[in-house]
Amino acid sequence: MIQVLDKRFRKLFSENEIQERIAKMAAEIKADLGDKSPLFIAVLNGAFIFAADLMRAMDFPCEITFVKQSSYQGMDSSGKITQLIGLDRDIKDRHVVIIEDIVDSGLTMYHLRDQLLQQNPASLRIACCTFKPDALKCPLKLDYVGFEVSKLFLVGYGLDYDGYGRQYKDIYVLAE
Ligand code: IMP
Ligand code: MG
């Protein structure tokens, strides 16, 4: 058990399980894109640890860059109020893989995917460390999924509770 701010969390996936899953995911990505010099786009802040481990499991030519979704005034049809910032690379005709820590309602990823597709990449895939299928609120195809989890709140391995708890090597779930 760990304590993050006012809440207690218990271990759900160990560092070993996570690293084993990442090795398999890297092999899947290599089979699909190993000869295509893919560009990974990691979504800050949460994906920084997962992205670092996934990138280090790649033994073929690839690049990485980082983006952030920042809030702005206004709303689009999905109800999201975000804007993509930090994309410093031309993704036209590139094979792109978005790296995300967690897909919950899916709205963040749906919106990001839409924004990136407007720039005409050769292909666009999504890799996420954790996915809550029962929480999904939009049609979203995830190409590489680390762990499927139920609608519970997770911390660790980049995931935070109010900004805290990102540094743990394992993934923890809220203890009821
Ligand atoms: P979405 O609902 O799929 O748009 O997820 C939005 C964001 O909520 C994610 O990128 C995370 O930053 C955060 N989030 C969703 N579920 C969790 C969780 O269980 N722990 C920590 N952050 C979460
Ligand atoms: Mg996030």
pLDDT digits (tens, 9 = 90+) for 43-102: 999 999 999 999 999 999 999 999 998 765 554 555 556 788 889 889 999 999 999 999
**Residue from 176, 174, 154 nearest 50 by CA:** 154
- Is 6 designated active site? no
Return the number of other C-beta atoms located less than 10 Å from residue 175's C-beta: 12
Quick check: is 169 in a domain? no
Q: Tell which wins on pLDDT, 86 or 2.
A: 2
> What pLDDT does 75 receive?
47
Name the domain count of the chain.
Answer: 1
> What pLDDT does 79 receive?
58
Quick check: is 36 in a domain? yes
Q: Tell which wins on pLDDT, 85 or 130.
A: 130
Strands of the sheet with 123-131, listed across from one edge: 82-85, 63-71, 39-44, 95-103, 123-131, 144-148
pTM of this structure? 0.94
What's the CATH code of the domain at 115?
A: 3.40.50.2020
Q: For 97-126, b where at least 16 C-beta lie within 10 A, e where not — what string?
A: bbbbbbbbbbbbbbbbbeebeeeebeebbb
Quick check: is 21 in a domain? yes
Amino acid (one-letter) located at 53: D
Cβ atoms of residues 141 and 152 within 8 Å = no
- Selecting among 35, 59, 104, 170, the annotated active-site residue is 104
Quick check: is 128 in a domain? yes
d(CA 38, CA 95): 5
The finding on whether 107 has its CB within 6 A of some atom of ligand 1 is: yes
State the distance from the centre of ligand 1 to the C-alpha of 140, rounded, in angstroms. 15
> What pLDDT does 70 receive?
75
Residue 169: pLDDT over 70:
yes
Give the structural domain span for 50.
Answer: 15-148
**pLDDT tens, position by position, 31-45:** 999 999 999 999 999
Task: Name the closest ligand to CA 103.
Answer: 1
Sign of dihedral through CA atoms 85, 90, 93, 97?
Answer: negative
For the chain, what is the mean pLDDT?
A: 93
Cβ atoms of residues 171 and 43 within 8 Å = no
d(CA 88, CA 69): 14
State the distance from the centre of ligand 2 to the C-alpha of 84, rounded, in angstroms. 13
> Hey, is 16 helix, strand or coil?
helix
Quick check: is 101 in a domain? yes
> What pLDDT does 8 receive?
98
The percentage of residues in the chain with a pLDDT greater than 90, rounded to a whole number, is 86
3-state SS string over 33-71?
HCCCCCEEEEEECCCHHHHHHHHHCCCCCCEEEEEEEEE
Task: Name the closest ligand to CA 48.
Answer: 2
Quick check: is 69 in a domain? yes
Quick check: is 98 in a domain? yes
Q: Tell which wins on pLDDT, 83 or 113.
A: 113
Quick check: is 10 in a domain? no
Q: Which atom of ligand 1 is nearest to the CA of 105?
A: 2
> What pLDDT does 10 receive?
98
